[in-house]
């Protein structure tokens, strides 16, 4: 009988051991399953090889194979989403080989609250501890742009903003929410959006409970239909909803949190903008040309002073009355030395492109149908009439900032972002060539750029907002006056620079950033 009892106990013990073994095996199989897309590393040489051959690596250190299965599953999904752009690696500090590697790297995930640690390596070296939320969206965004700014919803100060990811979520909110909604449609790269986000989130906190302030990144192409529906033609666009219906746009881009809160108490549609007053052809002595009439007009008139203009151009508006009065004086003269003509180059683009018009106004003199001079110095009626009576070649133009040799990088809209992505720290001066404050600042900014010309991680850059497509870029980057200075980190907007505009201010700003870099590098060496 005793023998039978002992035998029964042994069978039960065997069953328990078998069960524990099977459970352990299932756990290991699950771990293997979720880590198929993850690089498993346990040897220091393999680890170094991984960093040498991959440029963008997120490393998960765990205290065991089974304690962090949810994280491994999450990172498997992340690895799939960033395939070809980033790499996920896993070091299990719980097995014998992994323990040696973790000890060598001075990593101890068991000391962490959740039993795991995550680090990022860029271009073969340690970049940063991963401290952003351990969510699919945040991790994918991080690996696609490790030096970029965190997502808006990751900002603790934006906790009262309702963050929306999908069109389905948006429709559901608008349909079911009883409170009024102010929706901010934005793009992550938009400078004006970044400037307004802190204001919007403060307004969300101040009006919490009464209104819903929501944000949605609608830049991806999948939201093109939504953008068309709500007339989102630029970023940010604010839309106001009540009881499921869209009522108004909100267009105060210089608003404070208080302004937004006050508007929500009595929401009104934006005031109609003052329409552009066209240059009246019937009331003007100036001949107005088109793509179709240009050549025949030049054949009929031997001396023509032509103003290429844009209806929205402030300097053109200022010059129009001078040009009109000069035309009247010349038309009354029986021995008039020439005629004045104008062409809207934003409408009649063929002629504008033929003569490479890139700024407004541009004044050109034509003799017998051939372009002879460009006259940047003639702006008043007296100068116009005087010059036509004795046409002379204009003085040689002053060399532009862009033409002068310096260490400042001059950028246009097309190459702006790609160029800044290559630099860790960039200070960009948005300017207009005619701006007196810009002219005073240029020598100091140029000197600062020359001082840091050997540092490959630093750029002092400039954008002429009056040139070509740069006007739209400047608007996107929040430029409202000249000069405006923006700081960028690997191409991502960081902050407005409002320091001293002398050499000391520009150089001191950059030295403080490099000092922070050195301090972080020192800490990383200690950790490794």
Active site residues: 190, 193, 313, 316
Q: Hey, how many other C-beta atoms are within 10 angstroms of the C-beta on 129?
A: 12
Q: Which helix (H) or strand (E) holds 151?
A: none
CA-CA-CA-CA torsion sign (105, 110, 116, 118): negative
* Beta-bridge mates of residue 443: none
Q: Rounded CA gap, 442 and 112, in Å?
A: 51
Task: Compute the residue count for the chain.
Answer: 528
Three-class DSSP category at 154 = helix
Q: Rounded CA gap, 186 and 234, in Å?
A: 8
DSSP 254: T
CA-CA-CA-CA torsion sign (175, 179, 180, 181): negative
517: tokens are 């870099």
* Cβ pair 237, 185 in contact under 8 A: yes
Between the alpha carbon of residue 206 and those of residues 11, 181, 211, 390, 443, the distances in Å are 68, 14, 10, 67, 45
Three-class DSSP category at 279 = coil
Q: Rounded CA gap, 419 and 422, in Å?
A: 6
* Cβ pair 150, 492 in contact under 8 A: no
* Cβ pair 505, 498 in contact under 8 A: no
* Cβ pair 217, 503 in contact under 8 A: no
Phi, psi of 123 (to 5 degrees): 55, 40
Between the alpha carbon of residue 124 and those of residues 52, 103, 139, 339, 418, the distances in Å are 5, 20, 19, 68, 22
DSSP 293: T
Rounded (5°) CA angle 106-110-111: 75
Between the alpha carbon of residue 55 and those of residues 58, 123, 125, 268, 280, the distances in Å are 10, 4, 9, 52, 61
* Cβ pair 215, 162 in contact under 8 A: yes
Buried b / exposed e over 479-495, threshold 16 CB at 10 Å, is beebbbbbbbbbbbbbe
* Beta-bridge mates of residue 339: 304
């Amino acid at each position: 009988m005793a023998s039978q009892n002992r035998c029964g106990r042994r069978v039960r013990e065997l069953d328990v051991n078998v069960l524990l073994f099977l459970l352990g095996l299932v756990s290991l199989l699950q771990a293997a399953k979720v880590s198929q897309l993850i690089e498993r590393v346990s040897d220091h040489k393999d680890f170094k090889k991984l960093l040498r051959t991959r440029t963008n690596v997120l490393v998960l250190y765990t205290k065991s194979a089974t304690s962090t299965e949810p994280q491994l599953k999450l990172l498997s999904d992340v690895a799939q989403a960033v395939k070809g752009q980033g790499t996920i690696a896993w070091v299990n500090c719980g097995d014998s080989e992994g323990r040696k590697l973790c000890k060598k790297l001075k990593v101890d995930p068991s000391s962490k609250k959740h039993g795991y640690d995550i680090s990022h390596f860029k271009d073969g070296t340690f970049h940063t501890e991963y401290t952003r939320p351990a969510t699919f969206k945040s991790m994918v965004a991080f690996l696609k742009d490790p030096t970029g700014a965190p997502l808006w919803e990751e900002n603790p100060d934006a906790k009262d903003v309702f963050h929306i990811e999908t069109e389905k979520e948006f429709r559901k909110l608008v349909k079911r929410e009883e409170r009024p909604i102010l929706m901010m449609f934005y793009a992550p790269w938009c400078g004006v959006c970044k400037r307004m986000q802190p204001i919007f989130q403060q307004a969300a906190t101040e009006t919490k409970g009464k209104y819903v302030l929501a944000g949605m990144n609608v830049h991806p192409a999948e939201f093109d239909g939504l953008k068309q529906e709500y007339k989102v033609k630029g970023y940010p666009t604010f839309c106001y909803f009540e009881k499921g219906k869209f009522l108004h746009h909100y267009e105060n881009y210089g608003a404070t949190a208080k302004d937004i809160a006050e508007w929500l108490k009595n929401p009104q549609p934006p005031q109609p903008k003052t329409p552009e007053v066209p240059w009246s052809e019937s009331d003007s002595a100036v001949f107005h040309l088109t793509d179709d009439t240009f050549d025949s007009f030049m054949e009929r008139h031997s001396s023509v002073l032509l103003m290429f203009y844009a209806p929205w151009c402030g300097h053109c508006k200022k010059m129009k009355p001078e040009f009109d009065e000069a035309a009247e004086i010349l038309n009354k003269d029986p021995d008039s030395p020439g005629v004045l003509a104008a062409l809207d180059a934003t409408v009649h683009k063929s002629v504008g492109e033929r003569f490479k018009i890139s700024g407004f106004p541009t004044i050109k003199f034509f003799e017998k149908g051939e372009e002879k001079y460009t006259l940047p110095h003639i702006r008043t009626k007296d100068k116009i009439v005087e010059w036509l009576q004795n046409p002379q070649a204009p003085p040689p133009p002053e060399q532009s900032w862009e033409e002068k040799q310096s260490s400042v990088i001059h950028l246009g809209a097309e190459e702006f972002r790609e160029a800044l992505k290559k630099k860790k720290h960039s200070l960009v001066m948005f300017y207009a060539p005619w701006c007196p404050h810009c002219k005073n600042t240029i020598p100091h900014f140029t000197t600062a750029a020359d001082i840091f010309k050997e540092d490959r991680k630093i750029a002092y850059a400039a954008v002429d907002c009056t040139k070509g497509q740069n006007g739209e870029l400047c608007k996107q980057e929040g430029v409202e006056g000249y000069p405006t200075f923006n700081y960028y980190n690997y191409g991502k907007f960081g902050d407005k620079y409002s320091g001293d505009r002398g050499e000391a201010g520009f150089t001191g700003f950059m030295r403080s950033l490099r000092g922070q870099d050195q301090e972080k590098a020192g800490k990383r060496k200690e950790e490794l």
